Amino acid sequence: MEKRLQEYTMVFSNLKDGDHQFSFSLDKSFFECFEHSLIESGDINIDMDLRKSETMLVTNFVVHGTVDSLCYRCNDPLEIDLEGDFRLIFKFGHEESDNEELIVLPPEAYQLELANHFYEFVHVLLPNRIVHEDGDCNEDMVAIMKQYLID
């Protein structure tokens, strides 16, 4: 894992069984660690509630903030508000899981690498089409595109 993403690795082996809360922030330096990201930068906060037991870790995440991307229509910058909840269960064992909410960790695991999960959470919250509201696109670019549209 890239050194800049180490702050999104959480050591759980030293935690007592029970409930714990953590907060993480994602900014431009986070998104720069991922090639071909649709997101150029952002200001995202992720609050994590973790319930630890001997056999599993149950995590609930609340994601909120804004990200910066480019409009698919006019290619100008666009700020997108994001908000959502996610749940992951990390179970200790050796069996495989087809459930995307259930991640099986080896019994000797002692930490969670959360960066890829956070990256996925943010991308799942993006709209299907990243475009400005009607009338907010770059007028010059829209005019150029209309020249090449076939009716």
pLDDT in tens, 27-69: 999 999 998 888 889 999 999 999 999 999 999 999 999 999 8
pLDDT of residue 4: 76
More confident residue, 135 or 85: 85
Beta-carbon contacts of 17 under 8 Å, excluding residues fewer than 6 positions away, are: 52, 53, 54
| Global confidence as pTM | 0.87
Burial of 2 (0-12, 13-18, 19+ CB in 10 A): exposed
What number of other Cβ atoms are within 10 A of residue 99's Cβ?
A: 9
- Report the number of distinct structural domains present in the chain: 1
Range of the domain at 126: 3-148
Q: Are 38 and 62 contacting, i.e. CB atoms less than 8 angstroms apart?
A: no
Beta bridge partners of 45: 25, 64
Cα–Cα distance for residue pair 114/5, rounded to 1 Å: 9
What number of other Cβ atoms are within 10 A of residue 69's Cβ?
A: 19
pLDDT of residue 137: 87
Q: Which tokens go with 74?
A: 């006019």
pLDDT of residue 3: 67
